[in-house]
Structure 1
Amino acid sequence: MRLNENTLLLGKKVVLVPYTAEHVPRYHEWMRSEELRRLTASEPLTLEQEHSMQRSWREDADKCTFIVLDAEKWQARPSTTEESCMAGDVNLFLTDLGDPSLGEIEVMIAEPGCRRRGFGTEAVLMMMSYGVTKLGLTKFEAKIGQGNEPSIRMFQKLHFEQVAVSSVFQEVTLRLTVNEHERQWLLEQTSHVEERCYGDGSPQSQ
């Protein structure tokens, strides 16, 4: 999605930046992990295929992707590279043609040292806020493997409710409808987030 190609979102624990070609080698290394592929229901790709996927995510209007960076490491730039700050990714898929207000959300914290530190929670909150305020979304779904209990619990803490279980795909579907009460709660949870122009670090005009 080109809408967010120049957008950087600065939170307390994480920074969200557009997925660029610079990030692909590290992402490719992550996806060599059999555990991560199982948790994300992903197929192994070559580096060339991963670059092609990155270009697709950048161009396709129905996919919004941010790379999740460790904010503490990112603040230490320029003594560290952006690639070395990478922690995972967070995605929105707008694939329900009958309901453009629905987005499927997924998050992956791939770096073991970044897990269980609240990175995934903040990344999801920031992405949901972006979806509500920039994309006009009012409903979110998360499809999670039945064995991924930490992820299921995280989404439940963010007010998602389980609506379906698929024994075929061995996954559960959780959903959140963003009514006015949920919208205000979400905006409060992300009131600290600063939007900047990706590349120069300057604040974006709203």
Structure 2
Amino acid sequence: MKINENTLLEGQKVVLVPYNEEHVPRYHEWMKSPELQQLTASEPLSLEQEYDMQRSWRDDNDKCTFIILDKQRWADPSVEEEQCMLGDVNIFLTDPTDLSVAELEIMIAEPSYRGRGVGKEVTSMMMSYGVAKLGIKKFQAKIGLDNQVSVAMFKKLRFNEVSVCDVFREVTLELTVDESVRATLQDDVVYMKERDYRQTCSSRHELFSQ
């Protein structure tokens, strides 16, 4: 989506930035992992196909994605942004007749960041952004049956299990955004700050050059 091409979201542990060309090589290396292919139900792509996919995420009106950065590493201007990457988070608008329904996906690609509360923070931030900026009123999450950690996380975020598909070995969870959910999201990410991505990147580079 064009809407977030210059948006940076700053949390307590992470920074979310648009998925740009410079992120593709690291992302491509991640997706060579059989474990991540299984967890994301993805097929391996060539590097050129990965660049095409990145352009699709940026331009298509039914997709919104952010790259997840380690905030502590990113705060050091001498560290390249690509070296701060730890995963990604996506929103798909799945129903052309109802743009308020979205599927939510999160991938913590770097194993050392799992089990540290990063996924919960990122998911809450993305949901808050989806509600406020995209008008999302219902979130869905489709998770592999073997990925019980993710299932448990979404249930903690008040998602309800609505179906299980044995053929694809995945469970579908949903959350309808009512006033109670809105209030909880606001409380959960009260610390989140939205910044101008290009301006912030420029400031980092200036700090490093001083």
Residue 155 of structure 1 aligns with which residue?
154
Greater share of helix residues, 1 or 2? 2
* Distance in structure 2 (CA, Å) of the matches to 1:154 and 1:121: 7
Residue 175 of structure 2 aligns with which residue?
176
- Aligned residue for 1:201, secondary structure, equals helix
Offset of residue 22 of structure 1:
0.4
Residue 88 of structure 1 aligns with which residue?
87
Offset of residue 164 of structure 1:
0.5
Please give the residue correspondences for 1:52-201 in structure 2 after superposition, counting only pairs within 5 Å: 52-76=52-76, 78-201=77-200
- Deviating above 2 A after TM superposition, structure 1's stretches of 4 or more consecutive aligned residues are none
Offset of residue 170 of structure 1:
0.6
Aligned-pair identity (%) = 61
Offset of residue 116 of structure 1:
1.1
The one-letter code sitting in structure 1 at the alignment partner of 2:160 is E
Greater CA deviation, 90-99 or 48-57?
Answer: 90-99
Offset of residue 98 of structure 1:
2.8
Residue 12 of structure 1 aligns with which residue?
12
Greater CA deviation, 110-119 or 82-91?
Answer: 110-119
The one-letter code sitting in structure 1 at the alignment partner of 2:78 is S
1:79-118 per-residue CA deviation (whole Å, 9 max, x = no partner) reads 1010000000000000212321111000000011111111
The one-letter code sitting in structure 2 at the alignment partner of 1:25 is P
- Aligned residue for 1:106, secondary structure, equals strand
- Aligned residue for 2:95, secondary structure, equals coil
Gaps of 5+ in 1: none
* Distance in structure 1 (CA, Å) of the matches to 2:166 and 2:111: 29
* Distance in structure 1 (CA, Å) of the matches to 2:83 and 2:4: 22
- Aligned residue for 2:12, secondary structure, equals coil
* Distance in structure 2 (CA, Å) of the matches to 1:112 and 1:79: 24
The CA RMSD over aligned residues, in Å, is: 0.9
* Distance in structure 2 (CA, Å) of the matches to 1:49 and 1:125: 30
* Distance in structure 2 (CA, Å) of the matches to 1:22 and 1:104: 26
- Aligned residue for 1:100, secondary structure, equals coil
1:177-203 per-residue CA deviation (whole Å, 9 max, x = no partner) reads 11101111111111100100002229x
The one-letter code sitting in structure 2 at the alignment partner of 1:169 is F
* Distance in structure 2 (CA, Å) of the matches to 1:96 and 1:164: 18
Give TM-score, length-normalised by structure 1.
0.96
Give TM-score, length-normalised by structure 2.
0.94
* Distance in structure 2 (CA, Å) of the matches to 1:51 and 1:179: 37
- Aligned residue for 1:103, secondary structure, equals strand
* Distance in structure 1 (CA, Å) of the matches to 2:194 and 2:122: 14
The one-letter code sitting in structure 1 at the alignment partner of 2:57 is W
Equivalenced residues, count: 201
